[in-house]
Amino acid sequence: MSILIEDVAGHDEITLSRKFGNENLRLIFSIADIHPVEEDYASEEGEGDEAEPTVYPVRASLSITKSNGPGALNVDMVVQEGQFIVDNISFYDDAQLGTELTAEADWKRRGLYIGPQFDTLDVAVQDEFENFLRERGVNEAVANFIPQFSEFKEQKEYVKWLGRVKSFVDL
């Protein structure tokens, strides 16, 4: 399973892409969900103990399209504690509308029925859909990778930001 990581310097979104048979999967998440732990609070909780790092939930969006057919399946999720928690599954007849990352496409999607909340679906349907995602590599390993990579990218962007601000101030 080869995964392509798209990490553009200066941007807060990361994209993981891969193929699965005739399907194209694109998982997008953002470092905007990473929040620093306050020093005083963290040290009070872990007095004398090795405090475990706080892991914040990270929002993620998966889109699946097929090479040989129209449509796009979009899954809105939260990555938390090594697992994906599905919020919503939507299907768009037009793959371009379902996957395009523009304000115009977002505006067009707003008026469309996006489907029920995932947790209101029959438990058997939820289980089958979670199996569908795992089969495509949307699993615990990826759910553990996302917060770690988010934190790494956030630190990298933060250091660059500090350097740019320092350069500006020093002029």
58-66 and 23-30 beta bridge pairing: antiparallel
CB burial readout 75-99, b (16+ within 10 A) else e? bebbbeeeebebeebbebeebebbb
Predicted TM-score (pTM) above 0.85: no
Q: Where are the alpha helices (DSSP H) in 9-122?
A: 39-45, 95-99, 103-110
**In the predicted structure, residue 85 carries a pLDDT above the cut 70:** yes
Rounded CA-CA distance 96/93 in Å is 9
Q: What average pLDDT score do residues 90-102 get?
A: 87
How far apart, in Å, do the first and last CA atoms of the chain sit? 49
Phi and psi angles of residue 125, each rounded to the nearest 5 degrees, phi first? -65, -40
Rounded CA-CA distance 112/88 in Å is 14
Amino acid at 128: E
Confidence of residue 40 (pLDDT cuts 50, 70, 90): very low
| Beta-bridge mates of residue 66 | 23
Sign of the CA dihedral with 163 first, then 164, 166, and 167 last:
positive
**CATH class for domain 4-45+53-170?**
alpha beta
Domain map of the chain by residue range? 4-45+53-170
Phi and psi angles of residue 157, each rounded to the nearest 5 degrees, phi first? -70, -35
The residue with greater pLDDT, 54 or 131, is 131
pLDDT on residue 39: 46
**In the predicted structure, residue 171 carries a pLDDT above the cut 80:** yes
Sheet holding 58-66, edge to edge: 4-7, 13-20, 23-30, 58-66, 72-80, 83-92
